[in-house]
Amino acid sequence: MAYLEWKPAFDTGVPGIDYEHHRLVDMLNEIHELILHDGERRKVAGILAEFHTLAAAHFALEEKIMRDHGYKGLAARRDIHHRLLDQVREMMEAHEQGAFRSGMHLPETVRQWLAEAMDIDVKLFADITDSGLGKSGLSRG
């Protein structure tokens, strides 16, 4: 069973954002499976690093879009993004120190956070007009 099941409700209707959301979910599922089944440590470390890099870039794009559209919750959203990135860095450090053993699961908080974040994104992008998306270089699918 996947660590985080994709739900159609996570789709924002913006292909670039949805692609990154799918990729983040796929990467978490891959990391979870590797840890659960004693996957190669270097591979786990590499995917954790890729996840962190993609998440940081994705959050920067979302924050730019929020800033461009005067989103009132930008500061709070940025804090949430920073907390998730901190949590991923903690997972990377724990993995380096050998804290993840075969049969272990990723923290539940990561799954909850990513699912909640995608729910918020769906609402955020629903409120942005097509012309507003165009100003950010995006469009609906």
- Which pLDDT belongs to residue 105? 74
- Which pLDDT belongs to residue 129? 82
- Identify whether 136 is part of a domain: no
- Identify whether 109 is part of a domain: yes
**pTM of the complete model:** 0.87
- Identify whether 42 is part of a domain: yes
- Identify whether 78 is part of a domain: yes
- Identify whether 2 is part of a domain: no
CATH number at residue 53: 1.20.120.50
Q: Are 52 and 68 in contact (CB under 8 A)?
A: no
* Residue 59 per-residue DSSP state: H
- For the chain, what percent of residues have pLDDT higher than 90? 38
- Which pLDDT belongs to residue 98? 82
- Identify whether 123 is part of a domain: yes
Q: What residue numbers bound the domain in which 78 lies?
A: 13-127
- pLDDT tens for residues 88-115? 898 889 888 888 776 677 778 888 888 8
Question: Which of 48-52, 79-83, 85-89, 108-112 bottoms out in mean pLDDT, i.e. has the lowest?
Answer: 108-112
C-alpha span between 39 and 57 (Å, rounded): 26
- Identify whether 1 is part of a domain: no
- Identify whether 40 is part of a domain: yes
| Overall number of domains in the chain | 1
